[in-house]
């Protein structure tokens, strides 16, 4: 409470970004960084599709191809889709629950910097042709020293651990934020659906990441210190890795898709002018998906010979998860039903998700049946399946979310004409790329092969996939042009850019650093509709809840805030900018990097680098903890 | 304006699906999984058909419902404010129950098929050990005393029970036409069995490794030859023997180091090595050269070999020879005059070249064996009947003198990551980045090619 408004909204310059602890600025940085890595991962895919466009090509070497497919998966999962979701968590959760920031603003900055540095650490080796090459799944024993003596896998093992720190710190932060910082009257069952899905995702993160952390620590000890968790010569069972990896890896799928489900659940009601159909069931099905997601991991392992009983159990659990997912699809369609549908770009992407994710869901049920899966697993059929889930699902939802929230973030609309081009090209290109993979897989084409022979019946499907990828790159280029063009020159957007129902639309665009001048009292699931279209809320079951007790002297009934004041004028204490989270993050990454020199037999150098990293970590952490927040 | 675009959506979808469906029907798909060639795949395909039918119904239902909804409820001028509906318990219960019902219809045959296909293989089935190596396949018939590589012969109509193991990393054994895959897991034995239909003798099927296993994962193929019981018997009788071009069991010392002989300790084998060499020098040099010469000159009786004429095109590898930086240059004119006797000499004694002899890693049953090499300790494919095989190098190249010569000269350019060392003098070893100072010249390689081709 010592300093007010040291970070005034006018603050500009690179230093203000480096030291920011504002969740909106951090969210924006997540968005830009993650979009960069999305483009990077897309170009990696583009190179692979060039190589596979025709049989028996030698444009890319086997070794480079193996690095490309490893990094494409790793990049898209850990450096693109997860942080794109994190951009929305950061930006939206406080706004949607009526809070002024996240619970731990500096920890939030720390999460971002760890992510950025970890992403650089795991990505730069590809420019030196020493990128990780064991697949994003890193199956032992291929990733042990015996079979992968180079530094490639070291970058992967350490990079993923660094990125895990970022995800865990962020997850605890958002859980605390959502539990503690909701505006008065914002009961759990009044939270916007995006916040609900994000809430579930944070629990998935804190439960799933320990599993892969254990797996990675074992591997790191094997590679650097001679333990034998995965050393087959000493009798290791390589299935240990697979179980640990997929206990993480399957919930990870829901970590990637649920935020997109949340975004779509915001977009569909807004442009149908109807509330989300079956809110409660949507919440429960999200929780159900998250819960069941931990009981299905071994469906990735039907070919490893677990035996008939285990195969049966995991098969049944996997089928079960189709039920809550199906419910979501039908509830979205029911939301549209009877509405007044406006086909803005955001809406097109949201409807695209409903249509395309359905295909991924159906093929998912197809390999929940182990005997059928044995003809599908590790073929292009599976590649088709999860791209319908992750591109047709996650990415369509995220693109929709970007078009939807762009006016909130930058105060301007994205261009609708370019957006329409982007949508239709993406829609066509994504089907052209991934639908033929169903065929190439079922017609015998294995995954992860850098070349294939002519005359195997796969040529035209591969050519189609490659042409589709080219089109997809063009479509994404249109998006990038639109993004940067609209940021400076888009149509100015009012604060309630789309006529939506939730709190974030009641404040200016872009929001002031303190978000809400007065914390609003929330009385329903669609507070802004209550305010602006009271006729639309009549008879809503959720409005019958007990009248809210005013919990805070500061809280007032919701009104649209249009005046611009600084935090100082309003007397709102804001957290101080600080560089310490970045220094702490840097310390962690340097500490890990030191280990790299062990493999080069520079033990003293390794110790020196690691210890100086540790010193930086401890020093800046202490400085951080002893400096006041406000 | 956007509404106009949206109206094109159904048309675009129909066109896309129709185009793909046409594409999928108009051609030959030699590696299709939709076959009924084995009992396993017949069962799998029945399950798949149900999945496809139910999946298609759900797909059509959901997508049509979605398209009708967005078409019917698109915003029109002056349309009344939508009715605010928050949910409908009965509807929601219905669309929870119907997917559940569909899943039950899938679950029941799934469980039945799991237990049926994962039961123990019937007694009396043919036992085959499949052993994965980076990046080739070893096939052993333990009851029959046959070991071969990359080419699997099985009798049509008899159940074959595969015991799947790996020497190194994980691999996965898959013949799309014949049935589902099974992984090869280190320190574990997996099983997979199926019965090829009695009427599919004289056919060849492609097989692939489907678990990522490192650099040349894409180059780890195999071929399955289904043959009649009679032909299979002939094939086994011949494959059991030593190579015809070799001095079969010329000395007792060699017999002692033959694969499958129990009681040989590792140290004993090492100690036996000098004795072997002496024996070779004395006995073999005299008798053997004649034997080889005879073998080369006579029409080889190779028992049963799957006839070249019956091999379908898609199972004949057409991997091109590497070009550009990875090209392996070889003087092909030397090949017709390769001297098998000299080649035989070279594979056993390359010490003068600073190289381990071929027989340090490969077994040629009937030839002298280095260091008491057995099937279990050999790191390279068993070459005993190399001359009867149609492919080399993990099934990615045809067995052809020109290709084989280049393979011997620098296999690491021919197959990325290849564990077999670069052998040609002056060749760049892509793994070490160094040029090989002392190795084989083209003349010597032509001799070894000539010898290997006599191993009928």
The CATH number for A448's domain is 1.20.210.10
The band of A192, judged by pLDDT with boundaries at 50, 70 and 90, is very high
- pLDDT for position B19: 64
Classify domain B126-240 by CATH architecture.
Sandwich (2.60)
Q: What is the pLDDT of residues B157-213, one digit of tens each?
A: 999 999 999 999 999 999 999 988 999 999 999 999 999 999 999 999 999 999 999
> Is the torsion defined by CA of B4, B10, B14, B16 positive or negative?
positive
Flag if A275 and B84 touch (Cβ within 8 Å): yes
C-beta of residue A510 within 8 angstroms of C-beta of residue A410 = yes
Of the candidates A387, A395, A68, which has an alpha carbon nearest to the alpha carbon of residue A260?
A395
Total of domains in chain A = 2
pLDDT of B133 higher than 70: yes
Co-location of A340 and A483 in the same domain: yes
Q: Tell me how far apart the alpha carbons of residues B152 and B159 are, in angstroms, rounded to a whole number.
A: 14
Dihedral (C-alpha) A118, A124, A125, A131: value to the nearest 10 degrees?
Answer: 70
C-beta of residue A390 within 8 angstroms of C-beta of residue A81 = yes
Q: What is the pLDDT of residues A210-250, one digit of tens each?
A: 999 999 999 999 998 889 999 999 999 999 999 999 999 99
* Residues of chain B neighbouring A147 (CB-CB closer than 8 A): 134, 168-169, 214
Co-location of A528 and A627 in the same domain: no
- pLDDT for position B233: 92
Q: Is residue A378 part of a domain?
A: yes
* Residues of chain A neighbouring B3 (CB-CB closer than 8 A): 343
Of the candidates A117, A90, A502, A143, which has an alpha carbon nearest to the alpha carbon of residue A259?
A90
Contacts of A328 (CB under 8 A, 6+ apart): A261, A282, A285, A286
Flag if B214 and A354 touch (Cβ within 8 Å): no
Of B27, B30, B210, the CB nearest to A379: B210
Flag if A323 and B190 touch (Cβ within 8 Å): no
Q: Is residue A575 part of a domain?
A: no
Tell me which of A32 and A547 has the higher pLDDT: A32
* Residues of chain B neighbouring A339 (CB-CB closer than 8 A): 73, 82
For B177, the closest chain A residue by CA position comes to: A444
* Residues of chain A neighbouring B33 (CB-CB closer than 8 A): 375-376, 442-444
Q: How far is A211 from chain B (nearest CA, A)?
A: 22
Q: What CATH fold (topology level) applies to the domain B252-258+268-299+317-453?
A: Cytochrome Bc1 Complex; Chain D, domain 2 (1.10.760)
- For the question of residue A552 being annotated catalytic, the response is no
| Helix then strand then coil, % of chain B, to nearest 5 | 45, 15, 40
pLDDT of A543 higher than 60: no
Strand A556-557 with A520-521, pairing: parallel
- pLDDT for position A519: 87
Phi, psi for residue A192 in degrees, rounded to 5:
-60, 150
DSSP state letter for A24: H
Average pLDDT score over residue span A619-627: 91
Size of interface A-B (CB pairs under 8 A): 325
Q: Is residue A115 part of a domain?
A: yes
| CA distances for B95 relative to A193, A275, B72, B87, B105, angstroms | 20, 19, 21, 13, 16
Q: Tell me how far apart the alpha carbons of residues B449 and B440 are, in angstroms, rounded to a whole number.
A: 12
Co-location of A508 and A611 in the same domain: no
- pLDDT for position B114: 93
Strand B160-166 with B391-392, pairing: unpaired
Which of A371, A430, A431, A432 to mutate to test binding with chain B, by most B CBs within 10 Å of its CB?
Answer: A371
Q: What is the pLDDT of residues A564-593, one digit of tens each?
A: 778 777 778 888 888 999 999 999 999 999
Active-site residue, from A254, A279, A405, A529: A254
* Residues of chain A neighbouring B224 (CB-CB closer than 8 A): none
The band of A540, judged by pLDDT with boundaries at 50, 70 and 90, is low
Of A341, A453, A539, the CB nearest to B73: A341
The band of B358, judged by pLDDT with boundaries at 50, 70 and 90, is confident
For B23, the closest chain A residue by CA position comes to: A460
Q: How many beta carbons lie within 10 A of that of residue B450, not counting itself?
A: 24
Co-location of A318 and A461 in the same domain: yes
Q: Is residue A214 part of a domain?
A: yes
For A437, the closest chain B residue by CA position comes to: B20
Co-location of A383 and A421 in the same domain: yes
Which of A390-404, A480-494, B79-93 comes out lowest in average pLDDT?
Answer: B79-93
Co-location of A325 and A427 in the same domain: yes
Of A311, A348, A457, the CB nearest to B30: A457
C-alpha gyration radius of chain B: 29
Of B186, B218, B313, the CB nearest to A449: B218
- For the question of residue A252 being annotated catalytic, the response is yes
Which of A222, A302, A358, A369 to mutate to test binding with chain B, by most B CBs within 10 Å of its CB?
Answer: A369
Phi, psi for residue B203 in degrees, rounded to 5:
-125, 160
Encode burial over B330-360: b for 16+ CB neighbours within 10 A, e otherwise: beeebbeebbbbbbbbbbbbbeebebebbbb
Q: Tell me how far apart the alpha carbons of residues B20 and B24 are, in angstroms, rounded to a whole number.
A: 6
Contacts of A390 (CB under 8 A, 6+ apart): A76, A81, A256, A257
Flag if A278 and B48 touch (Cβ within 8 Å): no
Range of the domain at A502: 23-512+518-560
- For the question of residue A299 being annotated catalytic, the response is yes
Q: Is residue A555 part of a domain?
A: yes
DSSP state letter for A495: S
pLDDT of A406 higher than 70: yes
Q: How far is A381 from chain B (nearest CA, A)?
A: 11
Q: Is residue A13 part of a domain?
A: no
Flag if A62 and B319 touch (Cβ within 8 Å): no
- pLDDT for position B273: 42
Of the candidates A71, A222, A60, which has an alpha carbon nearest to the alpha carbon of residue A145?
A222
Contacts of B212 (CB under 8 A, 6+ apart): A66, A134, A135, A139, A142, A447, A448
| CA distances for B218 relative to A451, B20, B209, B211, B416, angstroms | 6, 26, 8, 10, 10
Of A334, A368, A460, the CB nearest to B91: A334
Q: Tell me how far apart the alpha carbons of residues A95 and A507 are, in angstroms, rounded to a whole number.
A: 9
For A379, the closest chain B residue by CA position comes to: B210
For B90, the closest chain A residue by CA position comes to: A278
- For the question of residue A460 being annotated catalytic, the response is no
Flag if B23 and A236 touch (Cβ within 8 Å): no
Of the candidates B130, B221, B153, B149, which has an alpha carbon nearest to the alpha carbon of residue B382?
B149
For B207, the 3-state DSSP assignment is strand
Flag if A235 and B211 touch (Cβ within 8 Å): no
Q: Tell me how far apart the alpha carbons of residues B74 and B76 are, in angstroms, rounded to a whole number.
A: 6
Co-location of A553 and A620 in the same domain: no
Strand B221-227 with B151-155, pairing: parallel
Flag if A369 and B58 touch (Cβ within 8 Å): no
Q: What is the pLDDT of residues B316-350, one digit of tens each?
A: 999 999 988 889 999 989 899 888 888 888 887 76
For A376, the closest chain B residue by CA position comes to: B180
What's the per-residue H, E or C state across B43-110? HHHHHHHHHHHHHHHHHHHHHHHHHHHHHHCECCCCCCCCCCCCCCHHHHHHHHHHHHHHHHHHHHHH
Phi, psi for residue B191 in degrees, rounded to 5:
-130, 150
Question: Interior CA angle at B61 toward B60 and B66, to 5°?
Answer: 100
In chain B, domain spans: 34-61+95-119, 126-240, 252-258+268-299+317-453
Co-location of A34 and A75 in the same domain: yes
* Residues of chain B neighbouring A231 (CB-CB closer than 8 A): none
What's the per-residue H, E or C state across B137-163? EEEEECCCCEEEECEEEEECCCCEEEE
The band of B156, judged by pLDDT with boundaries at 50, 70 and 90, is very high
* Residues of chain B neighbouring A348 (CB-CB closer than 8 A): 2, 6
- For the question of residue A101 being annotated catalytic, the response is yes
Average pLDDT score over residue span A521-535: 82
DSSP state letter for A133: -
What ipTM does the predicted assembly reach?
Answer: 0.89
Flag if B44 and A238 touch (Cβ within 8 Å): no
Q: Concatenated DSSP letters for A34-60?
A: HHHHHHHHHHHHHHHHHHHSSTT--SS
pLDDT of A138 higher than 60: yes
Dihedral (C-alpha) A554, A557, A561, A565: value to the nearest 10 degrees?
Answer: -10
């Amino acid at each position: 409470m010592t300093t007010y408004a040291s970070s005034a909204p006018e603050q500009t310059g690179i230093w203000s970004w480096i030291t920011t602890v504002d969740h909106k600025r951090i969210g924006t940085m997540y968005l830009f960084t993650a979009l960069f890595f999305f483009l990077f991962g897309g170009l990696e895919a583009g190179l692979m599709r060039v190589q596979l466009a025709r049989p028996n090509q030698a444009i890319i070497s086997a070794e480079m191809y193996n690095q490309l497919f490893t990094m494409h998966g790793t990049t898209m999962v850990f450096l693109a889709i997860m942080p794109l979701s994190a951009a929305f968590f950061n930006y939206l959760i406080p706004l949607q629950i009526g809070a002024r920031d996240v619970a731990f603003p500096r920890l939030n900055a720390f999460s971002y910097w760890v992510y950025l540095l970890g992403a650089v650490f795991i990505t730069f080796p590809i420019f030196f042709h020493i990128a990780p090459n064991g697949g994003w799944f890193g199956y032992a024993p291929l990733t042990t020293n015996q079979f992968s003596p180079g530094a490639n896998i070291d970058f992967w093992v350490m990079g993923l651990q660094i990125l895990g720190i970022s995800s865990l710190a962020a997850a605890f932060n958002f859980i605390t934020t959502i539990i503690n910082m909701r505006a008065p009257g914002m009961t759990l069952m009044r939270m916007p659906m995006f916040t609900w899905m994000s809430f579930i995702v944070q629990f998935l993160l804190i439960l799933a990441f320990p599993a892969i952390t254990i797996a990675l620590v074992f591997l790191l000890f094997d590679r650097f210190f001679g333990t034998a968790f995965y050393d087959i010569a000493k009798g290791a069972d390589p299935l240990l890795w697979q179980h640990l990896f997929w206990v993480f890896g399957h919930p990870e799928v829901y970590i990637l898709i649920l935020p997109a489900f949340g975004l779509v659940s915001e977009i569909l009601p807004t442009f149908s002018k109807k509330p989300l159909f079956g809110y409660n069931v949507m919440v429960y099905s999200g929780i159900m998906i998250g819960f069941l997601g931990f009981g299905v991991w071994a469906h990735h392992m039907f070919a490893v010979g677990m035996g008939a009983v285990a195969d049966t159990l995991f098969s049944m659990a996997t089928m079960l998860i189709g039920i809550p997912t199906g419910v979501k699809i039908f509830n979205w369609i029911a939301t549209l039903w009877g509405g007044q549908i406006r086909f803005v770009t955001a809406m097109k992407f949201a409807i695209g998700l409903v249509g395309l994710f359905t295909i991924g869901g159906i093929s998912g049920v197809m390999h929940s049946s182990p005997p059928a899966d044995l003809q599908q697993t590790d073929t292009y059929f599976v590649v088709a399946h999860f791209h319908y889930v992750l591109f047709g699902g996650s990415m369509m939802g995220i693109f929709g979310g970007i078009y939807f929230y762009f006016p909130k973030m930058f105060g301007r609309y994205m261009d609708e004409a370019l957006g329409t081009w982007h949508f239709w090209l993406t829609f066509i290109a994504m089907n052209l790329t991934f639908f033929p993979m169903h065929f190439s897989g079922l017609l015998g084409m294995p995954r992860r092969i850098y070349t294939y022979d002519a005359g195997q019946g796969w040529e035209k499907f591969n050519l189609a996939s490659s042409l589709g990828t080219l089109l997809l790159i063009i479509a994404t280029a249109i998006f990038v042009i639109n993004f940067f063009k609209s940021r400076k020159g888009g149509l100015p957007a009012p604060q309630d850019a789309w006529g939506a129902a939730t709190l974030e639309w009641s404040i200016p665009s872009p929001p002031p650093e303190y978000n809400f001048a007065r914390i609003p009292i929330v009385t329903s699931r669609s507070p802004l509709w209550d305010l602006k279209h009271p006729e639309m809320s009549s008879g809503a079951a959720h409005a019958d809840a007990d009248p809210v007790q005013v919990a805070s002297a500061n809280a007032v009934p919701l009104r649209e805030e249009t005046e611009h004041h600084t935090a100082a004028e309003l007397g709102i204490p804001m957290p101080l900018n600080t560089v310490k989270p970045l220094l702490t993050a840097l310390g962690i990454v340097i500490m890990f990097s030191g280990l790299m020199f062990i493999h080069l037999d520079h033990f003293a150098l390794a110790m020196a680098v690691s210890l100086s990293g540790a010193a930086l970590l401890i020093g800046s952490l202490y400085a951080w903890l002893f400096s006041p927040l406000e | 304006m956007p509404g106009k675009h949206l109206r094109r959506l159904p048309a675009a979808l129909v066109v896309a699906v129709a185009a793909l469906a046409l594409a999928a029907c108009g051609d030959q798909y030699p590696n299709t999984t939709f076959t009924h060639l084995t009992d396993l795949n017949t069962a799998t395909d029945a399950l798949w058909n149900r999945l496809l039918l139910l999946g298609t119904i759900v797909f059509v239902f959901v997508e049509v419902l979605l398209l009708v909804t967005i078409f019917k409820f698109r915003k029109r001028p002056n349309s009344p404010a939508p009715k605010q509906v928050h949910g409908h318990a009965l509807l929601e219960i219905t669309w929870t129950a119907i997917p559940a019902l569909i899943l039950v219809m899938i679950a029941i045959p799934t469980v039945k098929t799991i237990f049926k296909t994962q039961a123990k293989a019937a007694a009396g089935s043919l036992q085959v050990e499949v052993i994965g190596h980076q990046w080739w396949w070893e096939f052993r018939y333990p009851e029959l005393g046959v070991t071969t590589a990359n080419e699997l012969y099985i009798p049509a109509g008899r159940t074959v029970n595969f015991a799947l193991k790996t020497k190194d990393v994980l691999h996965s054994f898959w013949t799309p036409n014949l049935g589902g895959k099974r992984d090869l897991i280190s320190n574990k034995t997996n099983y997979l069995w199926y019965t090829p239909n009695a009427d599919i003798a004289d056919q060849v099927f492609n097989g692939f490794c489907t678990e990522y296993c490192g650099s040349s994962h894409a180059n780890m193929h195999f071929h399955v030859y289904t043959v009649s019981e009679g032909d299979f018997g002939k094939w086994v009788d011949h494959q059991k023997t030593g190579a015809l071009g070799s001095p079969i069991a010329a000395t007792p010392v060699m017999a002692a180091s033959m694969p499958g002989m129990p009681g040989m300790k590792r140290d004993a084998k090492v100690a036996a090595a000098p004795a072997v060499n002496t024996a070779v020098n004395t006995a073999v040099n005299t008798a053997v050269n004649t034997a080889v010469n005879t073998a080369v000159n006579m029409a080889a009786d190779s028992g049963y070999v799957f006839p070249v004429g019956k091999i379908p095109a898609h199972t004949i590898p057409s991997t091109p020879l590497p070009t550009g930086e990875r090209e392996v240059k070889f003087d092909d004119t030397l090949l017709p005059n390769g001297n098998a006797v000299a080649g035989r000499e070279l594979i056993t004694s390359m010490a003068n070249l600073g190289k381990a002899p071929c027989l340090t890693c490969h077994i040629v049953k009937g030839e002298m064996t280095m260091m008491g090499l057995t099937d279990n300790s050999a790191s390279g494919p068993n070459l005993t009947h190399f001359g009867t095989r149609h492919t080399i190098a993990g099934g990615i190249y045809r067995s052809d003198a020109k290709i084989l010569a280049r393979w011997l000269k620098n296999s690491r350019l021919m197959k990325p990551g290849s564990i077999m060392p670069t052998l040609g003098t002056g060749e760049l070893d892509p793994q070490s980045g160094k040029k090989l100072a002392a190795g084989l010249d083209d003349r010597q390689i032509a001799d070894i090619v000539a010898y290997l081709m006599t191993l009928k």
